[in-house]
């Protein structure tokens, strides 16, 4: 027997060889190249440091958008701690690897003479796409612009990373109008590869991913009383015997059958009805195969299915003109036009979607997000990641967004909130000291994950915690659990929905003292004076019964009702009654807490009741 060429391999070497063969068995093979930025994460963890000089705040009640300056591998690594499975739309315009100093690997440009240039590019992209996939929500979609240089490789790579079954389309964008006379065929397009995170989720909701109908593409050449229309093919996918029949063109007598592998849209009887109603046409000249009228009134409701050829969303020339209008000069080569990104957002995002671009360039993605929010009243958020090569982030990306927010030339501003972060690093966690350093340096990450940036309880030496909030929630960060008391831990974990309105039914010891004590309590747990209120209804105020009737009818806006010593006026004189018993059966009452009707409510008893309620209603911050 001939000796195997692997006979000298150890067991470990054979296992490694088999693993490699298994890994490379399908479609795309490349030599993985080590990358410095990825290796760095083995010993250091990337964190974020805010550049407060670049913060933009227009409406604190609305969510923040983020710009991250640094290598996008580190940015994606960081976002996997803050936004895992939260991103609905990813758009990227990566380097095309043309050899014209457009692609840097390990701090060196990769040129056409580099024999490993495809392997380096694939290694580079694979690492980032794998991290990006983890960020995508179940309904997430990713759009990747590319030219012919790496299109074939990228398609196979994406099939491997996202799954071939999750491929949606290769959208062809007519990126330039001019013709290159020095080539065999003028290259006038770019590819946009589109993949889903889970294609089944999109299929179930495909009608939600349609374009708005515009009247410009509809007409009414035959004065149809139903209004403007366009003609759609009358054939449909698949073969069904009841939908396969001859159709005779009444204008020229020619007979048509469905195209091979397809059938007609409707049964024959339904076709005859549509023909009689004037809803079937036979081309512009009346001599073609049957088509079905689709009216603008219907399209306005159902939307338009996007096509795979995009020749109506502007060109790179339009992108250049947009930047020149903002900056007054040409500062960026071949930027994408806002209309291209708008098209992508229209077919992939909802009003509350989070959009990520980790090759942010000039910031067109953010510009499009802001414009679309202005148009439809949405609250989409953008996250931009870019390095600062040639000062692009500081001198192009951020200034562009700032100008769009504030207004430029003849364009009015679009209010939005932006935070600007720079990448930093902490040692990989190996000791308690490293853990504390990580927490100390991760405040921005934790706030970013929850979008809670307004500090309502400041960290100090005596109580080593801080509380941050937004309009709907709070985030407590404990920096050193050993330095704070158990009671303080309980307090910082309390989440108070604001505004928090308290209704007191019954006699109290001292209204002024109660207000002061409650104010100190709420301040301690990070709730401002304007975010809570208290109303007192003693026996005299309850004589007319209006407040009781409003509570019984479910007209109260109170977060909490506290009852104590109260006399219910029945019309036959005052008699003692427990209001809890009277109101607790009313399903519309938010919350009722109280004791015996004999109880006189004091500051301590009220705080005890309120604290117990807040601590018991899933108000713990995890």
User: Quick check: helix, strand or coil at residue 69?
Assistant: strand
Residue 501 burial (CB < 10 Å; 0-12/13-18/19+)?
Answer: middle
* Integer Cα distance of 606 and 504 in angstroms: 9
Task: Report the CATH number that the domain containing residue 568 is assigned in CATH.
Answer: 3.40.50
Measured CA distances, 222 to 228, 232, 281 (Å): 9, 16, 10
Query: Does a structural domain hold residue 366?
Result: yes
Instruction: Please report, rounded to a whole number, the percentage of residues in the chain having pLDDT higher than 90.
Output: 47
Task: Report the CATH number that the domain containing residue 353 is assigned in CATH.
Answer: 3.40.50.150
Judge if 594 and 516 occupy the same domain: yes
Range scoring the smallest mean pLDDT among 106-115, 217-226, 477-486: 477-486
Give Dmax (Cα) for the chain: 113
Structural domains counted in the chain: 3
- Residue 585 binned pLDDT confidence (cut-offs 50, 70, 90): very low
Q: Which of 90, 189, 103 is nearest to 147 (CA)?
A: 189
Judge if 79 and 122 occupy the same domain: yes
Judge if 201 and 288 occupy the same domain: no
DSSP string, 113-129: T-TTHHHHHHHHHHHHH
Final residue in a domain of this structure, among 302, 324, 339:
302
Higher pLDDT, residue 345 or 186: 345
Residue 200: predicted pLDDT: 93
Instruction: Please report, rounded to a whole number, the percentage of residues in the chain having pLDDT higher than 70.
Output: 84
Range scoring the smallest mean pLDDT among 108-112, 362-366, 424-428, 613-617: 613-617
Most confident stretch, 110-114, 270-274, 587-591: 270-274
SS (H, E, C) 398-409: HHHHHHHHHCEC
Please determine, for residue 26, whether its predicted confidence score (pLDDT) is greater than 70.
Answer: no
Residue 550: predicted pLDDT: 67
Please determine, for residue 2, whether its predicted confidence score (pLDDT) is greater than 60.
Answer: no
Query: Does a structural domain hold residue 177?
Result: yes
Please determine, for residue 420, whether its predicted confidence score (pLDDT) is greater than 80.
Answer: yes
Query: Does a structural domain hold residue 446?
Result: no
DSSP string, 317-384: HHHHHHHHHHHSS--SSSPPPHHHHHHHHHTT--TT-EEEESS-TT-HHHHHHHHHHHHHT---EEEE
- Residue 622 binned pLDDT confidence (cut-offs 50, 70, 90): very low
DSSP string, 537-596: E-TTTTTT-HHHHHHHTT----SEEEE-S-EEE-SSSEEE--HHHHHTT-TT---EEE--
Terminal Cα-to-Cα distance of the chain (whole angstroms): 65
The parent domain of residue 182 ranges over 37-207+310-421
Range scoring the smallest mean pLDDT among 93-97, 153-157, 532-536: 532-536
Residue 299: predicted pLDDT: 81
Range scoring the smallest mean pLDDT among 324-328, 390-394, 563-567: 563-567
Residue 577 burial (CB < 10 Å; 0-12/13-18/19+)?
Answer: middle
Query: Does a structural domain hold residue 442?
Result: no
Higher pLDDT, residue 235 or 590: 235
Higher pLDDT, residue 445 or 25: 445
Higher pLDDT, residue 209 or 96: 96
Please determine, for residue 256, whether its predicted confidence score (pLDDT) is greater than 60.
Answer: yes
Query: Does a structural domain hold residue 448?
Result: no
List all residues 6 or more positions away from 287 whose beta carbon is below 8 Å from its beta carbon: 249, 251, 252, 254
Tell me the pLDDT tens digit for each residue of 501-549.
888 877 787 888 888 888 888 877 667 777 888 888 876 666 556 666 6
Judge if 558 and 577 occupy the same domain: yes
Please determine, for residue 495, whether its predicted confidence score (pLDDT) is greater than 80.
Answer: no
Judge if 45 and 186 occupy the same domain: yes
Tell me the pLDDT tens digit for each residue of 223-241.
999 999 999 999 998 889 9
Mean per-residue pLDDT, 157-169:
95
Q: Tell me 393's DSSP state.
A: I
Q: Are 456 and 526 in contact (CB under 8 A)?
A: yes
Q: Are 67 and 392 in contact (CB under 8 A)?
A: no
- Residue 575 binned pLDDT confidence (cut-offs 50, 70, 90): very low
Judge if 151 and 49 occupy the same domain: yes
- Residue 221 binned pLDDT confidence (cut-offs 50, 70, 90): very high
Q: Are 364 and 320 in contact (CB under 8 A)?
A: no
Mean pLDDT of the chain: 84
Mean per-residue pLDDT, 26-39:
80
Mean per-residue pLDDT, 434-448:
82
Please determine, for residue 590, whether its predicted confidence score (pLDDT) is greater than 50.
Answer: no
Q: Which of 219, 239, 240 is nearest to 229 (CA)?
A: 219
Mean per-residue pLDDT, 410-423:
94
Q: Which of 385, 316, 380 is nearest to 353 (CA)?
A: 380
Judge if 351 and 318 occupy the same domain: yes
Final residue in a domain of this structure, among 389, 421, 453:
421
Judge if 82 and 181 occupy the same domain: yes
Most confident stretch, 30-39, 154-163, 518-527: 154-163
Judge if 190 and 314 occupy the same domain: yes
Residue 494: predicted pLDDT: 64
**Angle at the Cα of 323 (from 321 to 324), degrees rounded to 5?**
60
* Integer Cα distance of 222 and 219 in angstroms: 9
- Residue 491 binned pLDDT confidence (cut-offs 50, 70, 90): low
Judge if 156 and 104 occupy the same domain: yes
Output the six-digit token pair for 540. 């005299």
Query: Does a structural domain hold residue 105?
Result: yes
Mean per-residue pLDDT, 197-207:
89
pTM beyond 0.75: the answer is no
Judge if 259 and 315 occupy the same domain: no
Final residue in a domain of this structure, among 302, 318, 341:
302
Please determine, for residue 13, whether its predicted confidence score (pLDDT) is greater than 70.
Answer: yes
List all residues 6 or more positions away from 530 whose beta carbon is below 8 Å from its beta carbon: 499
List all residues 6 or more positions away from 345 whose beta carbon is below 8 Å from its beta carbon: 89, 355, 368, 369, 372, 380
Tell me the pLDDT tens digit for each residue of 278-314.
999 999 899 999 999 999 888 877 888 889 999 999 9
* Integer Cα distance of 525 and 512 in angstroms: 20
Query: Does a structural domain hold residue 512?
Result: yes
Judge if 60 and 158 occupy the same domain: yes
Tell me the pLDDT tens digit for each residue of 321-342.
999 999 998 888 889 999 999 9
């Amino acid at each position: 027997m001939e000796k195997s060429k692997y006979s000298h391999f150890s067991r470990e070497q054979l296992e490694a060889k088999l693993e490699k063969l298994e890994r490379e068995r399908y479609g795309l093979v490349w030599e993985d190249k080590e990358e410095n930025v990825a290796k760095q994460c083995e010993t250091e963890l990337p964190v974020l440091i805010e550049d407060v000089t670049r913060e933009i705040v227009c409406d604190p009640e609305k969510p923040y958008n983020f710009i991250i300056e640094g290598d996008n591998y580190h940015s994606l690594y960081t976002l996997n701690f803050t936004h895992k499975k939260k991103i609905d739309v990813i758009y990227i315009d990566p380097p095309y690897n043309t050899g014209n100093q457009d692609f840097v690997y390990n701090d060196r440009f990769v040129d056409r003479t580099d024999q490993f240039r495809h392997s380096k590019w694939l290694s580079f992209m694979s690492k980032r796409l794998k991290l990006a996939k983890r960020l995508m929500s179940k309904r997430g979609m990713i759009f990747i612009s590319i030219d012919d240089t790496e299109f074939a490789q990228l398609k196979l790579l994406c099939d491997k990373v996202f799954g071939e079954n999750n491929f949606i389309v290769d959208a062809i964008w007519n990126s330039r109008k001019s013709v290159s006379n020095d080539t065999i065929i003028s290259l006038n397009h770019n590819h946009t590869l589109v993949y889903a995170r889970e294609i089944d989720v999109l299929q179930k909701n495909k009608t939600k991913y349609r374009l708005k109908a515009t009247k410009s593409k509809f007409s009414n050449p035959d004065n149809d009383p139903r209004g403007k229309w366009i003609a759609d093919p009358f054939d449909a996918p698949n073969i069904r015997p009841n939908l396969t029949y001859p159709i005779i063109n009444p204008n020229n007598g020619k007979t048509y059958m469905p195209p091979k592998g397809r059938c007609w849209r409707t049964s024959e009887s339904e076709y005859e009805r549509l023909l009689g109603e004037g809803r079937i046409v036979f081309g512009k000249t009346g001599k073609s195969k049957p088509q079905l009228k689709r009216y603008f009134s219907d399209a306005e409701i159902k939307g338009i299915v996007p096509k795979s050829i995009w020749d109506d969303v502007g060109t790179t020339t339009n992108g250049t003109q947009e930047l020149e209008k903002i900056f007054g000069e040409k500062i960026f080569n071949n930027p994408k036009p806002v209309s291209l990104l708008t098209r992508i957002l229209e077919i992939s995002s909802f009003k509350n979607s989070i959009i990520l671009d980790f090759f942010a360039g000039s910031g067109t993605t953010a510009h499009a997000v802001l414009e679309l929010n202005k148009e439809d009243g949405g609250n989409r958020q953008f996250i931009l990641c870019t390095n600062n090569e040639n000062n692009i982030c500081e001198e192009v990306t951020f200034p562009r967004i700032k100008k769009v927010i504030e207004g430029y030339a003849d364009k009015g501003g679009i209010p939005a909130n932006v935070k600007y972060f720079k990448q930093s690093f902490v040692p990989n966690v190996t000791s308690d000291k490293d853990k504390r350093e990580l927490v100390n340096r991760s405040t921005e990450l934790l706030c970013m994950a929850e979008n809670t940036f307004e500090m309502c309880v400041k960290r100090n030496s005596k109580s080593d915690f801080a509380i941050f909030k937004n309009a709907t929630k709070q985030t407590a960060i404990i920096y050193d659990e050993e330095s704070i008391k158990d009671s303080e831990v309980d307090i910082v974990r309390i989440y108070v929905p604001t505004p928090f309105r308290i209704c007191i039914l019954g006699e109290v010891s001292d209204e002024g003292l109660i207000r002061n004590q409650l104010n100190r309590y709420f301040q301690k747990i990070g709730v401002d004076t304007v975010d809570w209120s208290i109303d007192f209804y003693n026996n005299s105020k309850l004589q007319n019964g209006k407040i009781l009737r409003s509570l019984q009818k479910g007209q109260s806006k109170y977060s909490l009702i506290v009852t104590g010593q109260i006399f219910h006026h029945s019309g036959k004189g005052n008699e003692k009654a427990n209001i809890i018993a009277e109101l607790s059966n009313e399903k519309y009452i938010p919350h009722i807490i109280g004791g015996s009707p004999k109880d006189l409510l004091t500051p301590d008893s009220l705080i005890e009741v309120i604290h117990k309620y807040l601590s018991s209603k899933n108000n713990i911050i995890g």
